[in-house]
Amino acid sequence: MSASIIAENLVKTYGTNNEVRALDGLSLTVKEGTVLSLLGPNGSGKTTTVRVLSTLLRPDSGRATVAGIDVLKNPQQVREIIGLSGQYAAVDETLTGWDNLIMFGRLYHLSSRGAKARADELLEKFSLTDAAKRPIKTYSGGMRRRLDLAASLIVKPKVLFLDEPTTGLDPRGRQEMWEVINELVKGGVTLLLTTQYLEEADQLADEIVVIDRGHVIAKGTSDSLKKDVGGERLEISVPIEQLGEVRRIVERITQSSASEDVGVHKISVAAPGGTATLIETLRELDTAGIHPLDIALKRPSLDDVFLALTGHIAEEDVETSSAAKTKRGKR
Amino acid sequence: MKDALVITKRQLLQLFRVPEVLIFSTIQPVMFVLLFRYVFGGAINTPGVDYVQLLMPGIFVQTVAFTVAGTALGLAEDMQKGLIDRFRSLPIARSAVVVGRTLGDATLNVVVLVVMAITGLLVGWRPSSSGLEILAGFIFLLVFGYAMSWMGVLVGLSVRDSRVANSVVFLFVFPMTFLSNAFAPTTGMPRPLQYVAEWNPVSTMVAGVRDLFGLEPMFGATANSFPSQNPLLMSMIYIALLMAIFIPLSVRKYKNVAPK
């Protein structure tokens, strides 16, 4: 299979002294007809990557091709073959779903009749036919996202970029969106999708690329990443003076090293034994006279992936706060 | 160009879907006509000519000058909603969205001017020139509005937030329209302000339109300054300047714009 998206050493900096490195030598490859998920916290460079690959933003250096076309040299040709659906449902809210699809159809240079036929087809496909003549304002979050996605599929793009397609949706909306995306992928489109949720990457992607501070820190399949992270984790919150003791207890039980988040008084450790480990820990803590404020078994989250890969919690505040100063936000 | 018209059509479609926008954007200038005609008009002394004749060109110019607000607000909102990003990812000319927007706002101006003219006629406005000159006056107004609209493009794309766009525009368009001969004679102003008022594009526009509607162009101005002598020429220079500055800047801005 040939590569459909190639990014090489992309660099993009913001600020007067280039102090915010939104992209710091990022490289990735997406094979034709596969789904790659770009996983990272806010401010890690996900959106910036999508903006560069979809021709919206010029990087300071590096090169990129989409379906063999140079993104920097021939952006207009790239625009012909890509679909982009951003973090916000970027549609005209005062217009109806139908109006929007016709407008975008015309902007993709479909004939008037062609645009109408395509709008009908897409509304049907995304179960929006009933809402077609209602203004987008009246749509639920999930419906808006579906319409937004529909608008990016008007010309059957070869390559599709979805930037956090489910952020802000309720669980049901998220589930619906996943079904729609899975459906699309079966149709053979090459998809690059960004997400903050490991679960989402797990559901949708063939390959996952984890990024932090503008560069790739890990890549692989969902399984291989999970193996790195180590399955379920036990998290215990206790008063700060007991952190050390609790840490010794859980490390003895699990035979692995625990991490400590002093800020929120939390100990986190891999718990391969699952509930058995939980029960044993509770018993030991009770014997020691320690009453945790909170204790929970957690499936691996993005934070855990980060912890495992980088040794630090996903630090969204570092970049967003400095980026806010330069008035650029995380984009 | 065809793409630009799709964008214009979208904007006009918005007006049909949310007619309130059109209603409120015409109510404001109509209110101004009534306020100045009946509330302030009585206190403004205009020997030899009925105040409403002088007032109408002033309010027409003020209204089209405010196109800058409509354009800026609309684009800032599209920016905020991520629509501009989406448009920029489409295979259309880089100028299509902004050209479409300014044409849409110009079309809206046509509607607003018609409603205002009817209101004016109802409250006693009677232009005394020929039909052709009156038509020329209105075309002149539309072209000025179109030029101001391009200033709005730059503002809207630069501030990227509709609330900010609103305050920025009001901050300079309000003084610009009042520091002029639009509503009262400039002779009542302190000397330095008189000069500002006479060179103000709003004043030259008002004077030019008054001229085309068959009135003495200035009222009570220091009549020997260049803009008072040649209001139409001066206005054309201003319009050309506005376009020459703001069209290239706006299109360039659009190419590189990024949301907050």
Give B78-112 pLDDT, tens digit per residue. Answer: 998 889 999 999 999 989 999 999 999 999 999 99
Place of tokens 């902007």: A107
The mean pLDDT of A246-266, rounded to a whole number, is: 78
Domain boundaries of chain B, sorted by first residue: 2-256
B85, B92, B94: which to substitute to probe chain A, counting the most A Cβ within 10 Å?
Answer: B85
3-state secondary structure of B147: helix
B89, B94, B162: which to substitute to probe chain A, counting the most A Cβ within 10 Å?
Answer: B89
The superfamily (CATH) of domain A3-227 is P-loop containing nucleotide triphosphate hydrolases (3.40.50.300)
The mean pLDDT of A320-324, rounded to a whole number, is: 38
Of B17, B82, B96, the CB nearest to A90: B82
Q: How many CA atoms lie within 13 A of B86 on its CB side?
A: 31
Q: Pick from A38, A27, A29, A33: which is nearest to A1 by CA? A: A33
Chain A interface includes B18 (CB < 8 A): yes
Contact B81 A80 (CB under 8 A): no
Chain A interface includes B161 (CB < 8 A): no
Of A95, A104, A152, the CB nearest to B14: A95
Chain A interface includes B82 (CB < 8 A): yes
Does the structure show a pLDDT above 90 at B250? yes
A72, A106, A149: which to substitute to probe chain B, counting the most B Cβ within 10 Å?
Answer: A106
pLDDT category, A327, cuts 50, 70, 90?
very low
Contact B90 A108 (CB under 8 A): yes
Does the structure show a pLDDT above 80 at B48? no
Contact B10 A76 (CB under 8 A): no
Contact B6 A79 (CB under 8 A): no
Residue A255's contacts (CB-CB under 8 Å, 6 or more residues apart) are none
pLDDT value of residue A319 = 39
The mean pLDDT of A21-27, rounded to a whole number, is: 92
Of B10, B256, B259, the CB nearest to A95: B10
Whether the CA torsion A313, A318, A324, A330 is positive or negative: it is negative
Residues A112-122: pLDDT tens digits?
999 999 999 99
Residue A260: φ, ψ to 5°: -125, 130
Q: Pick from A57, A30, A56: which is nearest to A191 by CA? A: A30
pLDDT value of residue B221 = 56
Q: Please state which CATH number belongs to domain A232-298.
A: 3.30.70.920
Chain A interface includes B12 (CB < 8 A): no
Does the structure show a pLDDT above 80 at B28? yes
Does the structure show a pLDDT above 60 at A225? yes
The 3-class SS string of A236-279 reads: EECCHHHHHHHHHHHHHHHCCCCEEEHHHCEEEEECCCCHHHHH
Of B7, B85, B258, the CB nearest to A86: B85
Domain boundaries of chain A, sorted by first residue: 3-227, 232-298
Q: Which residues of B touch A94 (CB under 8 A)?
A: 14, 17-18
CA separation for the pair A64, B39 (Å, rounded):
65
Contact B86 A84 (CB under 8 A): yes
Contact A103 B9 (CB under 8 A): yes
Contact B14 A55 (CB under 8 A): no
Contact B90 A88 (CB under 8 A): no
Of B9, B89, B258, the CB nearest to A54: B89
The mean pLDDT of A60-88, rounded to a whole number, is: 92
Contact between A307 and A198 (Cβ < 8 Å): no
Whether the CA torsion A144, A150, A152, A154 is positive or negative: it is negative
The mean pLDDT of A91-103, rounded to a whole number, is: 93
Whether the CA torsion A98, A102, A107, A108 is positive or negative: it is positive
For residue A89, give how far its alpha carbon lies from the nearest alpha carbon of chain B (Å).
7
For residue A47, give how far its alpha carbon lies from the nearest alpha carbon of chain B (Å).
12
More confident: A223 or B31: B31
pTM: 0.81
Contact B258 A51 (CB under 8 A): yes
CA separation for the pair B207, B198 (Å, rounded):
10
Of B85, B89, B259, the CB nearest to A79: B89
Does the structure show a pLDDT above 80 at A165? yes
pLDDT value of residue A131 = 93
Contact B14 A56 (CB under 8 A): no
Whether the CA torsion A199, A204, A208, A210 is positive or negative: it is negative
Q: In what order do the strands lie in the sheet containing A190-195?
A: A82-85, A159-163, A190-195, A35-39, A207-212, A215-220
Contact A331 B258 (CB under 8 A): yes
- Highest mean pLDDT out of A15-24, A204-213, B18-27: A204-213
What token pair was written down for A147? 């319409």
Chain A interface includes B87 (CB < 8 A): yes
Residue B90 is given by DSSP the state S
3-state secondary structure of B5: helix
